[in-house]
């Protein structure tokens, strides 16, 4: 994986981490409920892991498909999927309803998985991750006959991409959750909770275009 790809993956991770709907706000609310910073910190691992799982599943599925289909078909397929999802996010706002304020760690992880999946977090990461995977295993065996080496390489690339993305997301989420809990207070939401839906949709469409043109 080249540095540019790694930086983009990390940037997207930070972007996801900044979004209150991806979990830091939930962590703050749970901390306020317990009146303790530990409450905030305890909520973060399930949230980040749920997010990572959503990204990994998306990358894993598409990587597996890329072993069996010609690269062009995968590129355009991914481009259409990611762009299409971006357009859908533009016209329709939905939020999954599942849990309430009393959540177990598993429910919190599940909630984060659902939120990330519904927002297309993995899809946004997909084109860059796929690009670096493609670079990584160029010149190996022909499509349709994946070798054990290919599978291992792809799996490790997916894991690496998810790892970079997740670390950046964890950093952004933790910093924001603690900053709001300790210093700013939730009143800051009234002004600072910018509507990311548009930026999010544009990022998805951009990522899709990237997949088509690289």
Partner 1 sequence: MALIQPDPTFYPSAREAMLAPREEVAYVALLDTAGEGRPDALATIDLSDGSIVSVHDMSVPGDELHHFGWNVCSAALCPYAPHPHVERRYLILPGLRSSRIYVFDVKDDPWHPKLVKTIEPETIFKKTGYSRPHTVHCGTDAIYVSALGNVDGDAPGGVFTLDHDTFEPKGRWEANRGPQELHYDFWWHLGHDRMVTSEWGTPNQIEAGPSLDLLVGRKYGHRLHVWDLSKRKHLQEIDLGDQHQMALELRPAHDPNKTYGFVNTVINVEDLSANIFTWYLEGEVWKARKIITIPAEPAEADLLPEPLKQFGAVPPLVSDISLTLDDRILLVSCWGTGELKAYDVSDPFAPRETGSIRIGGIARRDSHPAAAGRALNGGPQMVEASRDGRRVYFTNSLYRSWDDVFYPDGISGWMAKVDIADDGSISLDPGFFVDFAADGRRAHQIRLQGGDSSSDSYCFS
Residues found near partner 1 in the complex (CB under 8 A): 20-21, 25-26, 28-29, 32-33, 35, 93, 95-103, 111, 186-187, 189-195, 197
Of 72 and 102, which has the nearer Cβ to partner 1?
Answer: 102
Of 70 and 96, which has the nearer Cβ to partner 1?
Answer: 96
Number of Cβ atoms within 10 Å of the Cβ of 203: 20
Of 101 and 145, which has the nearer Cβ to partner 1?
Answer: 101
21 touches 114 (CB < 8 A): no
Cα–Cα distance between 71 and 62 in angstroms, integer? 11
- In the DSSP assignment, the letter for residue 183 is I
Cα–Cα distance between 29 and 82 in angstroms, integer? 32
Q: How far is the CB of 134 from partner 1 (least distance, A)?
A: 36
Q: Which of 165, 61, 62, 49 is nearest to 111 (CA)?
A: 49
Q: Which of 18, 20, 42 is nearest to 31 (CA)?
A: 42
Q: How far is the CB of 192 from partner 1 (least distance, A)?
A: 8
Q: How far is the CB of 113 from partner 1 (least distance, A)?
A: 13
Of 50 and 127, which has the nearer Cβ to partner 1?
Answer: 50
Q: How far is the CB of 98 from partner 1 (least distance, A)?
A: 7
Alpha helices for the chain (secondary structure H):
3-18, 24-34, 37-68, 71-91, 105-118, 121-136, 148-178, 189-192, 197-213
Cα–Cα distance between 188 and 199 in angstroms, integer? 20
Q: How far is the CB of 39 from partner 1 (least distance, A)?
A: 11
Of 47 and 79, which has the nearer Cβ to partner 1?
Answer: 47
Of 3 and 187, which has the nearer Cβ to partner 1?
Answer: 187
Q: How far is the CB of 165 from partner 1 (least distance, A)?
A: 22
Q: What SS3 string covers 66-84?
A: HHHCCHHHHHHHHHHHHHH
């Amino acid at each position: 994986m080249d540095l540019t790809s790694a930086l983009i993956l990390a940037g997207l991770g930070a972007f996801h981490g900044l979004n209150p709907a991806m979990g830091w706000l939930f962590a703050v609310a749970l901390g306020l409920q317990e009146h303790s910073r530990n409450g905030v910190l305890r909520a973060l691992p399930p949230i980040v892991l749920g997010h990572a799982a959503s990204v990994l599943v998306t990358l894993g599925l598409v990587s597996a498909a890329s072993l069996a289909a010609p690269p062009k078909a995968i590129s355009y397929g991914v481009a259409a999927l990611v762009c299409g999802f971006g357009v859908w996010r533009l016209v329709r706002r939905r939020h999954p309803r599942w849990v309430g304020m009393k959540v177990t760690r598993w429910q919190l992880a599940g909630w984060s998985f659902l939120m990330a999946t519904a927002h297309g977090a993995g899809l946004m990461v997909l084109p860059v991750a796929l690009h670096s995977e493609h670079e990584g295993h160029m010149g190996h065996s022909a499509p349709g006959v994946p070798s054990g080496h290919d599978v291992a390489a792809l799996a490790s690339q997916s894991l690496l991409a998810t790892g970079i993305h997740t670390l950046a997301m964890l950093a952004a989420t933790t910093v924001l959750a603690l900053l709001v809990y300790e210093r700013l207070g939730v009143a800051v939401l009234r002004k600072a909770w910018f509507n990311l839906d548009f930026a999010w949709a544009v990022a998805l469409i951009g990522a899709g275009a990237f997949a088509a043109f690289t």
